[in-house]
Amino acid sequence: MIELRLSSASATFEKVAELLCQLGVEASVSPTTNVCKNEEGSFQIEPGAHVLMPDCSKALFASTVWPALKETFSLRCGWVDASEKAYRGCTENYVRPSLCPATLKA
């Protein structure tokens, strides 16, 4: 199972669910409201989605699901928790290590 959390001004949970349906990916999609820092450094509220994909493999996620979501909603990254290999962290690093655009500060 893969659990994904994402947010974007255009990523409403309905649109995320529609895209996953078009891709043929079984999922449970719930709405979220997120407070995010924008490029100017101020905060804004964005819609988002909490997605549970019980039968999605890493290969399907990396080759089809994440690229489609990323392109459709202009996403930089998201948060993924994959029971496969017990991974929790940035979607970009799940797809391929060291792709995450975020810089973590201690």
**Domain carrying residue 14:** 2-95
101 inside domain: no
When the pLDDT of each residue in the chain is averaged and rounded to a whole number, the result is 87
CATH classification at residue 27? 3.30.70
89: left (phi over 0), alpha (psi -120 to 50) or beta: left
Instruction: For residue range 38-59, list pLDDT tens digits in order.
Output: 889 899 999 999 999 988 998 9
36 inside domain: yes
Q: How far apart are CA 106 and CA 55, in angstroms?
A: 35
**Could you count the other beta carbons within 10 Å of the beta carbon of residue 100?**
17
Instruction: Look up the pTM and report it.
Output: 0.78
66 inside domain: yes
The residue among 95, 98, 76, 77 whose CA lies nearest residue 87 is 95
105 inside domain: no
